[in-house]
């Protein structure tokens, strides 16, 4: 077993004062962009988030089974972990403690949810509450929400987030191994290879929202919001518009970004394993594209470009006005960071008019690190986690 190494958490900053807010940018305008390290080291960080109403702290999920809290005002890491459950999880490869989602009413109810791989290798979504301090979890409050059996050790997905509608969204991988051998991505009867949508307030342990697209369909799971995903490692909602971005890790040829506009009724089929990116799968074969929602952006899986997409956020902060409204993403293998600029209104409405075309994006940075996650603070400033 290899030794765990300290890793970097950094903020995306531009050292010079920028003049005016623009939704699009030129590369020359961001020539001074850099990652500014925070004064702390973490072990295997895979998720960064903030709690509703809290401008002071960031929560960093470590894959080994720990959640740490960073104080932005004092630039220091709190000594006591928010949550530590290494005895409840299995780690290695893509397994471990993978994400954290705070209930929208966290300031009043203290509820939060974690997604991890249990000791048997299966996915668990578990609810906790905080104890006497909002910066420490009550371990005794654990309540299982969902368990999904995993047929293999990889493609666990693991991302969770509450949507603007107050429901909990959960990304699941296709169950692992190459090429989706079980056909889970296209099977509405299983929860693997999907985006799920749960009401964690309306039932015990949860309720299925009545307007979920597969409710009432024979042989389909009502929890499913979208299907045709391979390994949606990261997804996010634009805090200004409610639009949804899903970064789906490809097989061997293409990494992709899928888009769902706010107000969508759900039910999108993003194509895996009939397609990889905008291309038929396997490469060179014929495929039926009817009924599929193709990605809005993709890049080739090549050594000089990347091999595993890490989705980020639409930038809504104030420190880098040139990036306002741009979707940020990176590659785990190469450490390259890109931005997909928005249009004049800071939204993607005109890109949506370009039916059948992918959207343009630009490179921001090349880093020597393996980028695992982006995160936002309460004000919309962006943070980046790396391994090594």
Task: Tell me the per-residue pLDDT of 295-331, one tens digit each, with 9 for 90 and over.
Answer: 999 999 998 899 999 999 999 999 999 899 999 999 9
SS3 234: strand
Count CB neighbours of 202 within 10 A.
13
Burial annotation 211-249 (CB, 10 A radius, 16+ → b, else e): ebbbeeeeebbbbbbbbbbbbbbbbbbbeebebbbbbbb
CA distances from 66 to 33, 37, 345, 370 (A): 31, 21, 40, 20
Tell me whether residue 23 is exposed, middle or buried, using C-beta atoms within 10 angstroms of its C-beta: 0 to 12, 13 to 18, 19 or more. Answer: middle
Count of domains in the chain?
Answer: 1
CA distances from 220 to 124, 191, 216, 248, 292 (A): 21, 9, 8, 22, 18
What is the distance between the alpha carbons of residues 120 and 148, in angstroms, rounded to a whole number? 11
What is the distance between the alpha carbons of residues 232 and 181, in angstroms, rounded to a whole number? 17
Residue 8 has pLDDT above 60, yes or no: no
376, β-bridge pairs: 382
Q: Using one digit for the tens of pLDDT, what is the confidence trace for 356-375?
A: 567 889 999 998 889 999 99
61, β-bridge pairs: 47, 67
Lowest-confidence region among 171-175, 355-359, 373-377: 355-359
Q: Using one digit for the tens of pLDDT, what is the confidence trace for 45-81?
A: 999 999 999 999 999 999 999 999 999 999 999 999 9
Give the list of residues 6+ apart from residue 133 with CB closer than 8 angstroms, or none.
none
Lowest-confidence region among 5-19, 313-327, 333-347: 5-19
Q: Is the peptide bond before 282 cis (omega within 30 degrees of 0)?
A: yes
Percent of all residues in the chain with a pLDDT value above 90, rounded to a whole number: 80
Residue 346 has pLDDT above 60, yes or no: no
pLDDT at position 256: 97
Residue 1 in domain: no
Report the CATH number at residue 84.
2.120.10.30
| Of 35, 10, 113, residue with least CA distance to 67 | 113
| Of 238, 209, 237, residue with least CA distance to 225 | 209
CA distances from 36 to 17, 171, 205, 295 (A): 16, 30, 41, 32
Residue 73 in domain: yes
Task: Give, as one character, the DSSP assignment of residue 29.
Answer: G
Distance between start and end Cα atoms, the chain:
17
- The sheet carrying 34-37 orders its strands as 34-37, 9-13, 382-387, 370-376
CA distances from 368 to 26, 36, 178, 298, 372 (A): 23, 14, 28, 22, 13
Residue 349 in domain: yes
CA distances from 259 to 153, 213, 281 (A): 27, 17, 20
> Do residues 372 and 332 make contact, with C-beta atoms less than 8 angstroms apart?
yes
Percent of all residues in the chain with a pLDDT value above 70, rounded to a whole number: 88
Q: Using one digit for the tens of pLDDT, what is the confidence trace for 71-113?
A: 999 999 999 999 999 999 999 889 999 999 999 999 999 999 9
> Do residues 276 and 250 make contact, with C-beta atoms less than 8 angstroms apart?
yes
Q: Which two tokens stand for residue 348?
A: 């993607």
SS3 365: strand
SS3 42: strand
92, β-bridge pairs: 95
Domain containing 85: what range?
6-387
| Of 384, 387, 251, residue with least CA distance to 330 | 384
What is the distance between the alpha carbons of residues 29 and 339, in angstroms, rounded to a whole number? 13
């Amino acid at each position: 077993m290899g030794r765990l190494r300290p890793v970097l958490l950094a903020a995306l900053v531009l050292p010079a004062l920028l003049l005016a807010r623009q939704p699009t940018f030129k590369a020359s305008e961001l020539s001074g962009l850099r990652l500014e390290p925070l004064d702390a080291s973490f072990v295997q960080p895979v998720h960064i988030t903030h709690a509703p109403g809290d401008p002071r702290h960031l929560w960093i999920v470590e894959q080994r089974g720990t959640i740490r809290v960073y104080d932005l005002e004092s630039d220091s890491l709190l000594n006591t972990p928010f949550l530590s459950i290494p005895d409840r999880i299995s780690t290695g490869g893509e397994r471990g403690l993978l994400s954290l989602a705070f209930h929208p009413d966290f300031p009043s109810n203290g509820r939060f949810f974690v997604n991890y791989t249990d000791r048997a290798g299966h996915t668990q979504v578990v609810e906790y509450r905080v104890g006497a301090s909002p910066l420490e979890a009550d371990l005794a409050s654990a309540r299982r929400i969902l368990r999904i059996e995993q047929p293999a050790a990889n493609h666990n997905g693991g991302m969770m987030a509450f949507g603007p509608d107050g429901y909990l969204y959960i990304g699941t991988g296709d169950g692992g191994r190459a090429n989706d051998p079980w056909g889970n991505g296209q099977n509405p009867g299983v929860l693997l290879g999907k985006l799920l949508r749960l009401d964690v307030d309306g039932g015990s342990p949860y309720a299925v929202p009545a307007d979920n697209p597969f409710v009432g369909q024979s042989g389909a799971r009502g929890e499913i919001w979208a299907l045709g995903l391979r390994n949606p490692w990261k997804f996010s909602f634009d805090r200004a518009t409610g639009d949804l971005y899903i970064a789906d890790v490809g097989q061997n040829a293409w990494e992709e970004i899928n888009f769902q506009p706010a107000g969508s009724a759900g039910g999108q089929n993003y194509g895996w394993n009939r397609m990889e990116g905008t291309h038929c799968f396997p490469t060179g074969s014929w495929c039926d594209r009817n009924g599929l929602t193709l990605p809005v952006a993709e890049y080739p899986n090549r050594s000089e470009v990347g091999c595993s997409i890490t989705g980020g956020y639409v930038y809504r902060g104030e420190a880098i006005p040139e990036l306002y409204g741009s979707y940020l993403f990176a590659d785990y293998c190469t450490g390259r960071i890109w931005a997909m600029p928005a249009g004049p209104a800071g939204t993607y409405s005109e890109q949506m008019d370009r039916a059948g075309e992918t959207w343009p994006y630009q490179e921001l940075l090349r880093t020597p690190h393996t980028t695992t996650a982006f995160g936002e603070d309460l004000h919309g400033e962006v943070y980046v986690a790396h391994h090594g």
